[in-house]
């Protein structure tokens, strides 16, 4: 059974109010109550929660109908139809502020009142649907932006939205960190797939929070490989120092995790610093990536590292040697580049971590 539409009548002329009530009930509406003051109308609207209000513009008390409607509109989503014998343009223009309710001139006919109510309710329903759809679209946009932020850096997203494309950029000096796990193949055989994914998600989520504090950028994670860089989107003369501190925090986190974990995670890390070209590839599935010898050397540093160690190139050593003690490991042959020095990063040269976050 269809629920009756509930209407609150606000009319200061008692006899007119009774007539309106009779007409409304004849048309099949439910009159919740009728009042003659704006202040009382606001109270009844809150308690009775009507579907519509019929409001006389001229009321007893301190508030007229238009003022009452404005206050109701601020608190509740209820359409208001004005009943008025005033036909001056100023009054009618003020009455229009309550759209989609509108106004009805006195004296009115039963048919005209019925049409005005149904039209007002229909317009109000459509307006609410549009508001809800707009809210859903805004939420979807926020969620899409959040997902996009996990794929692309913020500066790249902004440029992509503004221009539709992202111009490749050359960076003279950044630092690149690659990590993976020693003995990862054995771990994949030990853990069921769901548990493996859960473990990696927990670890990489912690890595994400670490690099965020150091204002570094995550570029990708593939399998057990995790790649980040420093110095891309903000000028950092200490990007190498930041990335070493971040790598050390990753190792410390895993050491603590391993105390209670069935699987003992042994992280290998490799870092190199140098020039790169950065840009977006893809049209549907965007990927932000960097290219250059500096990237290849960083990958070789990781491949030549050991579990629990941070292996850095000579170029990175030059940038961090005043901050960390390093152990020289010899030279690594790099195809097309000759040989490069390698170092394991040991303890910091000062007891307290230098404030490189701010």
193-213 helix and 239-258 helix, angle to the nearest 10 degrees: 140
Q: Are residues 227 and 310 in the same domain?
A: yes
Contacts 24+ apart (CB under 8 A), 162-170: 165/280, 166/279, 166/280, 166/288, 167/279, 168/277, 168/278, 168/279, 169/277, 169/278, 169/279, 170/275, 170/276, 170/277, 170/278
- In a domain? residue 160: no
pLDDT at position 142, please? 76
Asked if residue 152 belongs to a domain, the reply is no
Q: Is 10 in contact with 68 (CB distance < 8 Å)? A: yes
105 and 194: one domain? no
Looking at the structure, do residues 189 and 116 belong to the same domain, yes or no? no
Is residue 176 within 8 A of residue 227, CB to CB? The reply is: yes
Query: Structural domain of residue 248, as residue ranges?
Result: 166-348
Residues 6+ apart with CB under 8 A from 187: 181, 196, 263, 265
Same domain, yes or no, for 36 and 113?
yes
Query: Quick one: 35 and 177 in the same domain?
Result: no
Residue with tokens 């250059």: 292
Cα separation, 218 vs 42, in Å, equals: 55
Structure tokens at 52: 């519509």
Which of 104, 131, 158 terminates a domain? The answer is 131
The reply to whether 146 falls in a domain is no
Question: Which DSSP string corresponds to 282-322?
Answer: -SSS-EEEEESHHHHHHHHHHHT--TTEEEEEHHHHHHHTT
The structural domain count of the chain equals: 2
* Cα–Cα dist 276/293, whole Å: 8
Whether residue 187 is found in the same domain as residue 296? yes
Number of helices (H), then strands (E), in the chain: 11, 13
Residue 156 falls within a domain, yes or no? no
Query: Which of 116, 131, 146 is the last residue before a domain boundary?
Result: 131
pLDDT of residue 167: 75
Please check whether residues 201 and 280 belong to one and the same domain: yes
CATH of the domain at 120: 3.40.50.2300
If asked whether residues 88 and 182 sit together in one domain, one would say: no
* Cα–Cα dist 210/146, whole Å: 19
- CA 56 – CA 10 distance, rounded (Å): 6
The answer to whether 84 touches 105, Cβ cutoff 8 Å, is yes
Render each residue's pLDDT in the chain as its tens digit; 358 residues: 567 899 999 998 888 889 889 999 999 999 998 898 989 999 999 999 999 999 888 888 888 888 888 898 888 889 998 887 766 666 666 656 555 567 777 777 888 889 888 888 888 888 888 888 888 888 887 776 666 666 666 677 777 677 666 678 898 999 999 999 999 988 988 889 999 999 999 999 999 999 999 999 888 888 899 999 998 877 778 999 999 999 999 999 999 999 998 889 999 999 999 999 987 776 666 677 888 999 999 999 999 999 999 999 999 999 999 999 999 999 988 776 778 899 999 999 876 565 655 5
In a domain, 136, yes or no: no
Q: What is the DSSP letter of 60?
A: B
CA 101 to CA 70: how far, in whole Å?
Answer: 12
Say yes or no: 251 and 117 in one domain.
Answer: no
Phi, psi (rounded to 5 degrees) for 328: -70, 135
Contact 19, 113 (CB under 8 A): no
What the block records as the tokens of 77 is 């989503």
CATH of the domain at 301: 3.30.70.1230
Asked, for residue 357, whether it belongs to a domain, the answer is: no
Domain stops at, among 113, 131, 149? 131
Residue 330 inside a domain? The answer is yes
Same domain, 176 and 109: no
Is the domain of 196 the same as that of 271?
Answer: yes
One domain for residues 104 and 27: yes
Q: What is the distance between the alpha carbons of residues 290 and 69, in angstroms, rounded to a whole number?
A: 60
Residue 353 domain-assigned (yes or no) = no
Element (H, E) at 181: strand 169-181
């Amino acid at each position: 059974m269809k629920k009756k539409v509930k209407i609150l009548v606000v009319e200061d002329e008692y006899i007119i109010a009774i007539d309106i009530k009779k007409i409304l009930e004849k048309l099949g509406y439910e009159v919740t109550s009728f009042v003659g003051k704006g202040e009382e109308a606001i109270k009844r609207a809150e308690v009775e929660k009507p579907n519509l209000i019929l409001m006389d513009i001229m009321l007893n008390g301190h508030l007229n109908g238009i003022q009452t409607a404005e206050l109701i509109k601020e608190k509740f989503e209820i359409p208001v139809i004005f009943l008025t014998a005033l036909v001056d343009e100023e009054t009618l223009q003020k009455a229009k502020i309550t759209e989609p309710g509108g106004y009805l001139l006195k004296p009115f006919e039963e048919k005209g009142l019925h049409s005005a109510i149904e039209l007002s309710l229909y317009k109000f329903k459509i307006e609410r649907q549009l508001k809800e759809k707009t809210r859903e679209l805004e939420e979807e946009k926020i969620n899409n932006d959040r997902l996009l932020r996990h794929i692309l850096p913020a500066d790249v997203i902004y440029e992509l939205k503004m221009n539709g494309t992202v111009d490749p950029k050359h960076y003279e000096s950044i630092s690149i960190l690659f990590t993976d796990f020693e003995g990862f193949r054995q771990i994949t055989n030990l853990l069921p797939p769901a548990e493996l994914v859960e473990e990696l998600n927990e670890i990489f989520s912690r890595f994400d929070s670490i690099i965020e504090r150091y204002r570094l950028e995550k570029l990708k994670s593939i399998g057990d490989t995790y790649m980040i860089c420093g110095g891309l989107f903000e000028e950092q003369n200490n990007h190498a120092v930041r990335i070493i501190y971040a790598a050390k925090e990753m190792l410390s986190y895993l050491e603590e995790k391993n105390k209670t974990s069935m699987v003992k995670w042994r992280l290998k890390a490799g870092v190199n610093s140098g020039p790169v070209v950065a840009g977006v590839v893809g049209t549907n599935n965007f990927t932000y990536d960097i290219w250059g010898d500096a990237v290849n050397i960083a990958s070789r540093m990781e491949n030549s590292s050991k579990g629990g160690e941070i292996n850095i190139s000579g170029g990175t050593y030059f940038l961090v040697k005043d901050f960390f003690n390093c152990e020289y490991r010899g030279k690594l042959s790099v195809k097309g580049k000759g040989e490069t020095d390698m170092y394991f990063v040991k303890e910091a040269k000062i007891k307290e971590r230098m404030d490189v976050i701010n």
